[in-house]
């Protein structure tokens, strides 16, 4: 039973230090079980987290692409593969480094597939899941893309989704010399290479002649790409940043001709990427390790938007904490404070100027024990839920006597002290003759970034955009305020509405059709006799006289309209009319009818009955013009009767009751 008092004490195992409920850093006891979530499936733990727009939590494991989804309150979400997508363990040995949520709710994860067990060599691998946790068969082969083309050996460590739904993946590949280079690939929505990026969809970066590993990439609002990596040359490791243009070329306006090399002896904690991020003011943050006199320390670097060390942060853009051996990932708050994961299940919060925020946890630090009786625990990833609460993910190790070690998925939710709702993006649009008027309907936004889907952008709140060509455009709006950012995308149809019309001139059995539609650029004619055409102004020769129901479907890039009309095909002269006469008796008819016709011809006669779409329902030879024609099998409706003589064909219509 919950206490009625307004404050609640929770107990932190390390020293039994009490924290007020809601204090920055304190565990949120309304999450999962008392603020802690653990889950046991094989040997695993959370190494990467992501938050969906509905505040549900995605967590991936390094091994075999195991991915869970939890409700905002921490409970496993049964609508997502029963709570966990159980990876690709039956298809080989896989590793997973990163995951992202697409605007359409589908989930991307990247890593590698081991193809040489002895040398431990991998092929770059991307999988995509539907929002219900099944492999998306519209992507790659059965939801999986494995790159076996050159360079053959590669592992993908980062993924991002562009506003046009193209997918950007980054990783590293081994060179013939035994060194490593950064590789970036851009894919279409279906998983195929985008040939407009780099060299046939791929870019390989050889940085400073060194060996670059563990890249992470960020996609900027203007479409440019910033890549961070650890580069080793002359026996020393450095953090490096490179900015690329949207086509994959290096942007020479960034830092020193496109590349920044950090202070020496900087590297990452092993295995997992969650070290590189961008703050809402455009600055870049890197959290990792540094070696000083053979001792490991935690280091945070901050860089300006143009790629240089930020002198307002710590000492010349860097903060070294000698109380921690290294950082296992970091997350930025909207107020520019930085929360970083430490060795063990610990975290620290850093102020905007680089000092430790002593209002967080105990003197700026927070230590937790997620799984009771755990022999070892490690935090690997941190994210902010919408609203500002902190989600941490990692692993808890349990030693069971006479059995051995077991590893549990571990997660917590903690207070950050932020109590403002994240803004919600949205917009409407109105298409005019020459432009589209966009109206922002977002909540609490202070800045706007529009991508109109044609490579043009705007920062106006309610922009008017002029498209050069008609078509479908995928438009995205990203908004920001002091509590965070939000995105909304929608398809806009910029096209004139088609108005279909046509006329015809009948010349005996030949009919000349003329299209007079507005704003159409393709046409499909149905002549009512089973024949069709895609010519704008066709001539059509009918097999016999009669009345035909003709339809024209006119279209442009966005819409279509169908117009239908009856066309009477008749002889040109009175003499020809006099020689031709056909009647259906009775008309309307229920079960059968007789045909009464005359003609100057004699001999074999074929009877055809067609529906009004021109589909032949009956095709038979008749000897006696006055014989009864059975129509019991026909459904009620309007039909055509076609009489085919050796040198003459004519038609009439009847109604089946």
Question: Which pLDDT tens digit goes with each residue over 414-436?
Answer: 999 887 677 888 999 998 877 89
* 211-250: pLDDT as tens digits: 888 899 999 988 899 999 888 776 778 888 999 999 999 9
- Return the bridge partners of 161, or none: 167
How far apart CA 294 and CA 630 sit, in angstroms, is 101
- Tell me, what's the pLDDT at 627? 75
DSSP letter, residue 256: B
Q: Which residue has the higher pLDDT, 653 or 144?
A: 144
Give the per-residue pLDDT at 370.
Answer: 92
Answer with the residue of higher pLDDT: 20 or 271. 20
Cβ count near 655 (within 10 Å): 14
Q: Which residue has the higher pLDDT, 584 or 534?
A: 534
Mean local confidence (pLDDT), 312-323: 89
CB 593 within 8 A of CB 585: yes
Mean pLDDT taken over the chain = 85
Residue 43 — very low, low, confident or very high, per pLDDT cuts 50/70/90? Answer: low
Peptide linkage before 586 cis (omega within 30 of 0)? yes
Higher model confidence: residue 18 or residue 649?
649
DSSP string for 170-219: EEEEE-TTS-EEEEEEEE-TTS-B-TTTTBTTEEEE--TTSEEEEEEEEE
The residue written with tokens 């492999």 in the block is: 135
Please list, in sequence order, all residues whose beta carbon lies within 8 angstroms of the beta carbon of residue 90, skipping any fewer than 6 positions away: none
Write the DSSP symbol of residue 579. Answer: H
Domains of the chain: 1-47+272-419 (no CATH), 427-494 (2.60.40.10), 502-569 (2.60.40.10), 578-656 (2.60.40.1930)
Mean pLDDT, residues 530-546: 88
* Band (17; pLDDT cuts 50, 70, 90): very low
User: What is the C-alpha to C-alpha distance for residues 237 and 294, in angstroms, rounded to an integer?
Assistant: 14
């Amino acid at each position: 039973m919950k206490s009625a008092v307004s404050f609640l004490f929770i107990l932190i195992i390390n020293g039994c230090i009490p924290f007020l409920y809601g204090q920055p850093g304190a565990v949120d006891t309304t999450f999962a079980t008392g603020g802690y979530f653990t889950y046991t499936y094989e040997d695993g733990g959370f190494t990467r987290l992501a938050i969906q727009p509905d505040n549900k939590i995605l967590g991936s494991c390094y091994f075999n692409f195991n991915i869970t989804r939890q409700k905002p309150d921490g409970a496993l979400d049964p609508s997502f593969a029963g709570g966990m997508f159980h990876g690709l363990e039956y298809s080989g040995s896989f590793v997973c480094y990163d995951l992202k949520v697409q605007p359409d709710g589908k989930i991307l994860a990247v890593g590698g597939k081991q193809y040489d067990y002895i040398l431990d060599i991998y092929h770059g691998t991307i999988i995509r899941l539907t929002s219900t946790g099944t492999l998306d068969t519209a992507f790659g082969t059965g939801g999986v893309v494995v790159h076996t083309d050159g360079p053959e050996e590669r592992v993908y460590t980062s993924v991002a989704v562009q506003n046009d739904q193209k997918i950007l993946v980054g990783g590293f590949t081994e060179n013939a010399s035994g060194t490593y280079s950064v590789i970036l690939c851009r894919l279409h929505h279906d998983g195929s290479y985008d040939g407009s990026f780099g060299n046939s969809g791929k870019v390989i970066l050889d940085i400073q002649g060194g060996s670059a590993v563990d890249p992470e990439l960020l996609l900027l609002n203007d479409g440019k790409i910033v890549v961070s990596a650890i580069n080793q040359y002359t026996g020393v490791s450095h953090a490096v940043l490179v900015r690329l243009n949207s086509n994959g070329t290096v942007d020479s306006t960034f830092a020193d001709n496109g590349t920044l090399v950090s202070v020496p002896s900087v590297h990452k904690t092993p295995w997992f990427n969650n070290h590189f991020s961008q703050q809402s003011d455009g600055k870049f943050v890197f959290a990792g390790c540094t070696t000083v006199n053979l001792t490991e320390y935690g280091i945070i670097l901050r860089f300006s938007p143009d790629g240089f060390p930020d002198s307002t942060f710590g000492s010349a853009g860097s903060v070294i904490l000698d109380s921690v051996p290294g950082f296992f990932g970091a997350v930025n708050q909207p107020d520019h404070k930085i929360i970083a994961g430490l060795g063990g299940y610990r975290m620290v919060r850093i102020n905007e100027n680089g000092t430790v925020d002593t209002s967080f946890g105990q003197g700026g630090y927070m230590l937790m024990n997620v799984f009771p009786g755990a022999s070892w625990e490690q935090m690997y990833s941190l994210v902010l839920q919408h609203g500002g609460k902190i989600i941490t993910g990692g692993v808890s190790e349990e030693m069971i006597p006479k059995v051995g070690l077991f590893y549990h998925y571990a997660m917590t939710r903690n207070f950050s002290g932020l109590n403002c709702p994240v803004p919600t993006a949205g917009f409407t649009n109105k298409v005019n003759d020459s432009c589209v008027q966009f109206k922002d309907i977002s909540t609490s936004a202070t800045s706007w970034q529009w991508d109109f889907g044609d490579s043009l952008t705007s920062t106006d709140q309610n922009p008017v955009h002029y498209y050069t060509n008609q078509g479908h455009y995928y438009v995205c709006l990203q908004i920001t305020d002091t509590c965070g950012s939000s995105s909304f995308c929608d398809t806009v149809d910029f096209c004139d509405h088609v108005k279909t019309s046509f006329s015809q001139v009948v010349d005996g059995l030949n009919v000349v059709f003329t299209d007079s539609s507005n704003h159409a650029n393709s046409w499909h004619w149905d002549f009512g006799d089973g024949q069709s055409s895609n010519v704008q102004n066709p001539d059509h020769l009918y097999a016999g006289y009669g009345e035909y129901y003709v339809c024209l479907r006119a279209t442009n890039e966005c819409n279509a309209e169908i117009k239908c009309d009856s066309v009477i095909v008749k002889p040109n002269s009175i003499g020809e009319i006099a020689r031709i006469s056909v009647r259906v008796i009775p008309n309307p008819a229920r079960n059968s009818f007789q045909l009464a016709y005359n003609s100057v011809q004699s001999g074999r006669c074929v009877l055809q009955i067609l529906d009004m779409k021109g589909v032949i329902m009956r095709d038979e030879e008749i000897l006696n013009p006055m014989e009864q024609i059975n129509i019991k099998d026909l459904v009620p409706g309007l039909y055509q009767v076609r009489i085919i003589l050796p040198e003459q064909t004519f038609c009439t219509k009847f109604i089946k009751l």
